[in-house]
Structure 1
């Protein structure tokens, strides 16, 4: 049951298009919820948290479906669901009275769409990585690092497109996003090769085998610290910048600096990770992010002026971003090794789902601790602790993984024949 090869530029271009369409719409949801529906900050956070969990928390379901029905089918279904989500957002505002329940349904559908197509894309990227010709002893960036770069480029372009359309109203933004994902779906329907038609009993029964692999479950739980840490670029760090006079400008500049760092450093860091090995790359990545929160803790305790606070936050953001650039592509590249002769969809799904659960619970604690006046560094210490644990334990699990087969799907096919 071999996956037909897909051209790498198609896969990387798909990630770019997905992020352009996503970031053209989703960053403006909070504005609409406060301006059009009059929700409080707490209520907005709840709605957006549900959307995030619908995406990250359900990645495991998307991965299982990719294993059961094929990556192409699930990717196309994800595009259709996101189109429905964006159209529902527009419909909620076109109603005679803005319909908040319908708008919430739309936000959940946008998350569910991502939970469907992202695991499928990871499956195809992993297969393309396994098919790459030997580098001849040279270190090179993995396709997952390239996926991060193209995704970040889309995250930069998307908000600019959305902001340009926002003058005509959010309905235009949402409908444009729906039209864009319709076009992406039609393109992928032609560009992606058909899924294999044959499904063996082992394929159907193995869809949930990622949950039976205690070693991989442990690795996924440990690596969740990375997604929780990276998510603080949107929570803990802006809360620290909120203490400064020109918080909005400082926050925008911080996001811009993270994007520049990602575009400039992702590939060199990935090549270095290839030279030193997965265990060292993971340990270094987690340690860098933990150090970032250490800087944030010191800044929260000692900084007295705006310049000191902004400097501490920017250094922290740079370290967290660098840590994520090392740890996350490395973890994704390890998934086929953990899966060995099994389909990889549910394994990618479990890795992301553990991160989504950690973000949902961790953000609640981090947000509460960030406003705890008695210990201003408490949130940073809370976020650094799981990274320290991951830096110690996760590389040990990664080091025990056997060398990857030439193609995880090809090995699975051989295992079924045997």
Structure 2
């Protein structure tokens, strides 16, 4: 069990420390290629808009819908092999990106890579959710710290590899994922807690009938809509302002600022009421997105990325810790999986709406519309999280 001294940083068990380090390496490998993916499809492979959208949507839907099944399986049989399989599938998917040129092959590779994301995250967040409840805020803040470290380093490595050939970056990501799968195969994640395993159907029933989880899902939907803009509206708009290479700068700023902020604010984040954090983060999202409508130029947009990253770094671990705190023992992976599966619907909408707004509407209309989604999050959190009772506040 994890022992937490309120005045000190928790001391994580060895398996949790290894998993946190793996999260950083995994995200570095992820961000080595994500900034280059759409650019490579459009500029090098000459994919049309429909083909590009099909590849991205196949990856997104598999990555966010399948965790419901993967999480339930991890709750029943344990996370070890689910994590290992997920990393291996991601490696094979990126290996395919480096080897094939056809649309059908790329859609197939996107399905494989997205299925890998589903297995990996279903297993990882199940392990995190099974840690003691009083440590959830600190654990998910530490997880966010490692993810941001990877997001800061990955685009730089990928950009350097892409100077030679973008396929080199895809190959490097594949090697990292497959190597991590070999490491995961030899590790035993979750050994620091005693597992209470539930049958798959029982876990699914527990998750789908939990009123507190559904309230949290509704509150999370605006964020699931806004988050894909990091991969769609942000790089497209930056490209309009300063050319295609501006996209990489977005991800570097996002990673560096996120890492710096979580290092400075991690202890504060664990002490503030999560419902209040959610409301204020959504308010920040509404204001920052709307501000882009009035401020033009790449320097202002990068300043917006700084503000957005602060919102992201507050909201992501807060929503994750609330999800983990709601889940009964033995159903943690299923709770995260249901959250991800429903969020995929909102995320898919965000992907298409964000790209349509950037291509077809003015900047003022685009960023005010996205700001209004943040405002919807404020209202949802006020109505559904700030209610009497411990379950109503999702904590």
The TM-score range, normalised by the shorter chain, is 0.7 to 0.9
C-alpha distance in 1, partners of 2:232/2:90?
Answer: 25
CA contact (8 A) 2:31 2:154 kept: yes
Structure 2: state its 5+ residue gaps.
1-12
> 1:390 matched to which residue of 2?
377
SS at match of 1:272: helix
CA contact (8 A) 1:228 1:359 kept: yes
Q: Which among 121, 125, 137 is matched to residue 122 of structure 1?
A: 125
Are positions 1:326 and 2:314 aligned together?
Answer: yes
Are positions 1:111 and 2:114 aligned together?
Answer: yes
C-alpha distance in 1, partners of 2:195/2:249?
Answer: 49
Are positions 1:349 and 2:346 aligned together?
Answer: no
Please give the per-residue CA displacement for 1:112-171, whole angstroms capped at 9, x wherever unaligned: 101111121112223335475xxxxxxx96121111121122123223333444466455
Are positions 1:46 and 2:54 aligned together?
Answer: yes
Shift of 1:289: 0.7
Q: Which among 30, 47, 50 is matched to residue 22 of structure 1?
A: 30
C-alpha distance in 2, partners of 1:168/1:315?
Answer: 30
C-alpha distance in 2, partners of 1:253/1:164?
Answer: 13
CA contact (8 A) 1:11 1:125 kept: no
Please give the per-residue CA displacement for 1:305-331, whole angstroms capped at 9, x wherever unaligned: xxx433442343222221111111111
Shift of 1:194: 7.4
Rg larger for: 1
CA RMSD of superposed structures (Å): 3.1
The alpha-carbon distance between structure 1 residues 125 and 311, as it changes in their structure 2 partners (threshold 3 A), is same
Are positions 1:223 and 2:220 aligned together?
Answer: yes
Task: Trace 1:372-387 onto structure 2 (pairs within 5 A).
Answer: 372-373=360-361, 376-387=363-374
Q: Give TM-score scaled by structure 2 length.
A: 0.84
Please give the per-residue CA displacement for 1:223-281, whole angstroms capped at 9, x wherever unaligned: 1212322332333334443443x334544434332222101112433432333311111
Please give the per-residue CA displacement for 1:325-378, whole angstroms capped at 9, x wherever unaligned: 1111111111122223451111111222333221211232232233445x5422
Q: Which among 206, 211, 214 is matched to residue 208 of structure 2?
A: 211
C-alpha distance in 2, partners of 1:241/1:115?
Answer: 30
Q: Give TM-score scaled by structure 1 length.
A: 0.79
Task: Trace 1:401-412 onto structure 2 (pairs within 5 A).
Answer: 402=390
> 2:153 matched to which residue of 1?
157
Are positions 1:56 and 2:53 aligned together?
Answer: no
> 2:5 matched to which residue of 1?
none
Please give the per-residue CA displacement for 1:189-241, whole angstroms capped at 9, x wherever unaligned: 2222478898555x642234222223312321321212322332333334443
Shift of 1:288: 0.6
CA contact (8 A) 2:79 2:190 kept: no
Structure 1: state its 5+ residue gaps.
93-97, 133-139, 300-307, 409-418
Are positions 1:247 and 2:243 aligned together?
Answer: yes
Are positions 1:359 and 2:347 aligned together?
Answer: yes
Shift of 1:111: 1.4
C-alpha distance in 2, partners of 1:165/1:352?
Answer: 32
Shift of 1:402: 3.2
Q: How many residue pairs were aligned?
A: 378
